[in-house]
Copies of this chain bind each other. A is one copy, B any other.
């Protein structure tokens, strides 16, 4: 069976599931596996690295995939958009930062434009930029995001779009890792979901094995919103956006002391420690972006199996949902 929504009709896919363009994590193999499983996969363009992007698009084979960029970082390397457009992507996604002029370039190329929104105000900007799809991303999501919750942001943007842009589709993102989350998102009025953390724990993700062990061991209380990882990496994110990550020893050590970490000599020394642990896959000594849904993740099978399970469970729940409705006692 399949789950049918406006999203599956519009993108001619079987299931209303996009994989999140997780920087460093969502390469060509994960994107391709997601698309082959009936969803749509997005390569994580991240901060932007032409060599990495070229290689990962090369891993896609015949699969139809899209790509996502961190908008403010893309503004410093605008040529990467052309690189992605040259691959005839199924969609391009912009997150975090001013949408113009990239939005126009993408639309002019006839490529569906996905814009990620952390607030209702962001959704208004996305509509103004001509977004074909908006992603309502709650702060329970792993990696960078805002503070609003998926559960309220999704229906509020649904209501806004019903008046302002009824043909714009909406995906819910943040906290969705199983069939229950997908079924809940559809009840909230979303046309589908964007899934990150759950697919970070899959065979095709570029997740270091040491990170995977930490992910499988963590419960949902084990993540924290933090700027520590951005500070040590010298990334200058817009205000209002922070990262959700496992509360590793490194993060806990500096949380609340970001100014001390930003002191140049300290930052240089800590960055060396950070990257050494990162390359070695030593989760406790570095930063591991991960959403609250980590408490719902207990294995790391191939992406096709993850998606089949999510869809199967959601189908079961949705098919039986009418059973809650009963005659009064």
Chain A residues proximal to chain B, CB less than 8 Å: 1-5, 8, 12, 14, 38, 119-121, 138-140, 147-153, 155-156, 159, 174-178, 180-181, 183-189, 219-221, 225, 291-293, 295-296, 315, 317-322, 324-329
Contact = CB atoms under 8 A, between A and B. Distances in A.
B325 A319 contact: yes
B2 A326 contact: yes
A155 B181 contact: yes
Contacts of A180: 155, 187-189
A12 B328 CA distance: 11
Contacts of A151: 138, 140, 149-151, 174-176, 181, 184
A296 B220 contact: no
Contacts of A140: 148-149, 151-152
A219 to B, nearest CB: 5
Given A180-B187, A221-B121, A321-B321, A327 B152 contact: no
Contact of A5 (B2, B150, B324): B324
Q: 6 closest Cβ contacts across the A-B interface?
A: A321-B321, A140-B149, A184-B184, A4-B326, A151-B175, A183-B187
Nearest to A328: B2
Contacts of A155: 178, 180-181, 296
Contacts of A4: 324-326
Given A148-B221, A151-B151, 13 more contacts: A4-B325, A138-B149, A140-B148, A140-B152, A148-B292, A151-B175, A152-B177, A155-B178, A155-B181, A187-B187, A318-B321, A318-B325, A320-B322
A321 B183 contact: yes
Given A174-B151, A326-B1, A328-B2, A296 B156 contact: yes
Contacts of A138: 149, 151
A9 to B, nearest CB: 9
A177 B220 CA distance: 24
Contacts of A148: 140, 220-221, 292
B225 A147 contact: yes
Nearest to A184: B184
A186 B324 contact: yes
A12 B320 CA distance: 23
A187 B152 contact: no
Contacts of A324: 3-5, 186, 315, 318
A198 to B, nearest CB: 11
A186 B321 contact: yes
Nearest to A291: B152
Contact of A292 (B14, B149, B292): B149
B322 A152 contact: no
A145 to B, nearest CB: 11
In the complex, which of the residues A149, A180, A318 has the most CB atoms of chain B within 10 Å of its own CB atom? Answer: A149
